[in-house]
Structure 1
Amino acid sequence: MAKRPYDMPSMTSLACFESAARHQSFKLAAAELNVTPAAVSHQIKGLERDLGRQLFRRHHRGVELSESGAYLFIAVQRGFEGISDSVSQLRIRAERTDVVVHASTAVSALWLTPRLATFWKHHPETIVSQHVSDEPVATSNCDLSIEYGPLPDDVPDSIRPLFNGQILALGSPAFKEQNRIETLDDLAHVPLIHLTAEDRDWTKWSDWFEALNTDYEEGRGFWVNNYVVALGAAQDDMGAVLGWTELLGDRMATGKLVPLVPEGIATPKDFYVRIHPDAPPSANRLADWLTQPLTMRQSAFG
């Protein structure tokens, strides 16, 4: 017979002991557990025999914990409290319809938030909250996360690819005209906006020029640690910025940012949705919706 992994007496005896210790009464414990006082007394006597210790001092007016009983009561109460907290969390997660999504500042502002507005119109019963941070995702803080990185060859069900696209050199129309940018060589000699955010493996200007076999020496430029700020600076004619086409489709469509040269590179990594353990069913619904082609999402609303 396989040995049990825990050196534990019966859970029934522990439940009777915990209730009797908390109430300092076998009678009140029996009422709480919906059994007879004799049944409670029988379970505790069995527990005392098992442990070889007296857990209660019996008096004609009631009972009180012995030193051994007080020691065990603290341990049992902590264990029951931990189990109770976990059960409560599981019940809340099973019943709730809200979803917490983690995304970087850039992904939230440029891609996710506009799409959530449309999702809410079609699924008003699902409350979506965003956890916006440029720090690495903490799985305990969210149900879904929008991430950027290499996809494994065998993609698990918990990961849904979103998009990749191209990385272009973008700037304002005025910046392009003022600096007479036509070629990669022209671009290499104008102010460039650099992203210095930590924990983000974004493609840098040096990576981009190298992929296009173009010499580049870092000169005049503008450094920021937030991609949305970098885009704002580019729209204000301060310099050229690297742009992920799938993130910046709206700004490019309105002409706020334009390609400065025709060349670009394929994004070396992918944007994807990760579904975290214990996420509610509504998280899968949102993940499925986000990964649909834009035309399918629009058709859902006629």
Structure 2
Amino acid sequence: MNGPDQGDKAFPIDRVRARPDDPGRRPARRRHLPSLGSFATFEVAAKHLSFTLAASELNVTQAAISQHIRGLEKALGCKLFLRKHNAIELTSEGETLLEAVTSGLDRLSDAIGQLGRGDENATVTIAGTYAGASHYLKPMADAYRALHPEARFTLLASDENDRLQNFEEVDIAVICGNERSEIGHNIVPLFSEIVDPVCSPGYLARSGPFETPEDLLRAEFMELHRLHWTSEAINWYPLRWSDWFRHHADHLDPPAPGFVTNSYGLLVEAAVAGQGVILGWRHLVQQQVAEGRLVRIFDRPLDSGRTYYLKLKPSAHRKAHAQGFVAFLKEKSRGIPLNG
């Protein structure tokens, strides 16, 4: 920072108004104004009403402060201080200038503090499971950015670490459950956890039709491995084919799955490739269904009784795009029932 005794170079700061009782004076143009250092020195001196204390704060001599103030008064054509014995006071012009300088320097400081933070404020960080991030959040983020290209997203995924939602940089976390979710300002319900039997159109044409649960016994079943559900991040009871049959046809026992994996993404890829039928979580396969790569075999859903929520951190309430994305998700989720 330049000291107050380094001269008065012109600095583009807002104009100083002419005194209303002096028609001969004109407003100063920005290029003719004294340096920013002069105004900063004046503010410090006016704050302390002491050139000595101002010199101490700015780490210069008292003589330099006096010289700087005299130069500023000469440039502005008015007295800013009344010099008294062992004391100084602001003149009316000094009080007017102090108000303007304080406001201007505060605004300048705020603006500097915001420099380089545009991308940070436009970035929304969201935490979820791998399947949720890849099959739900990523397509939704892409659709939102098509409408708001300036928005940025960071997606953090984990099937092992439930504490991911509490990371400082996370604005929004997608969580599932009932007992740990109290709806309010920071917990936004989205939709119920519902699954349907789905497969590719090609598989349905080759192996169908499937009109009843009995017909479905001819299908090649694919399922999530129990390891997927025993992680710290996914610690509730899973939905499996045995649950679906128990709900819709409890007299039938489904055959052993031909393909099992702890990755839901691999299950979806296998189903799209026509390798069998899977339980499709509605929010995770809605894009594939909308594009015709997967089809619901029949209208026999299974509702787990659990609900998916958005957990909002304080940072989400301060970011326009975080709030916009929450509203976007709620709008796009209207096709999935919300029972809880």
User: Which interval holds the TM-score relative to the shorter structure?
Assistant: 0.5 to 0.7
Give the distance between the partners of 2:220 and 2:127, measured in 1 at CA.
33
Quickly say closer, same or farther: Cα 1:261–1:279, change in 2 above 3 A: closer
List alignment gaps of at least 5 residues for structure 1: 1-30, 36-91, 297-302
Q: Please say which structure displays the higher CA radius of gyration.
A: 2
Provide the residue aligned with 1:245 in structure 2.
282
- Give the CA deviation at 1:231: 0.8
Provide the residue aligned with 2:224 in structure 1.
195
Provide the residue aligned with 1:208 in structure 2.
244
Check conservation: 1:235, 1:256, Cα contact below 8 A: yes
Provide the residue aligned with 1:174 in structure 2.
202
The AA in structure 1 aligned to 2:266 is V
Quickly say closer, same or farther: Cα 1:263–1:278, change in 2 above 3 A: closer
Q: Pick 1 or 2: higher relative contact order, CA cutoff 8 A, min separation 6.
A: 1
Give the distance between the partners of 2:316 and 2:292, measured in 1 at CA.
39
Q: TM-score, normalised by structure 1?
A: 0.59
1:269 aligns with 2:294: no
Partner of 1:251, secondary structure, is helix
Q: Which digits, 9 at most, give the CA deviation of each residue in 1:167-197, with x for residues without a partner?
A: 2111122322333333202223432111121
Partner of 1:182, secondary structure, is coil
Give the distance between the partners of 2:264 and 2:56, measured in 1 at CA.
59
Give the distance between the partners of 1:253 and 1:122, measured in 2 at CA.
19
Out of 149, 153, 156, the position equivalent to 2:177 is 149
Give the distance between the partners of 2:58 and 2:148, measured in 1 at CA.
44
Provide the residue aligned with 2:4 in structure 1.
none
Give the distance between the partners of 2:333 and 2:246, measured in 1 at CA.
35
- Give the CA deviation at 1:224: 1.1
Check conservation: 1:151, 1:269, Cα contact below 8 A: no
Quickly say closer, same or farther: Cα 1:110–1:295, change in 2 above 3 A: closer
1:164 aligns with 2:192: yes
Out of 136, 146, 152, the position equivalent to 1:127 is 152
Provide the residue aligned with 1:108 in structure 2.
133
The AA in structure 2 aligned to 1:195 is L
Query: How big is the alpha-carbon RMSD for the aligned residues of Structure 1 and Structure 2?
Result: 3.3
Check conservation: 1:174, 1:237, Cα contact below 8 A: yes
Give the distance between the partners of 1:261 and 1:114, measured in 2 at CA.
25
Provide the residue aligned with 1:85 in structure 2.
none
List alignment gaps of at least 5 residues for structure 2: 1-54, 60-116, 335-340
The AA in structure 1 aligned to 2:145 is W
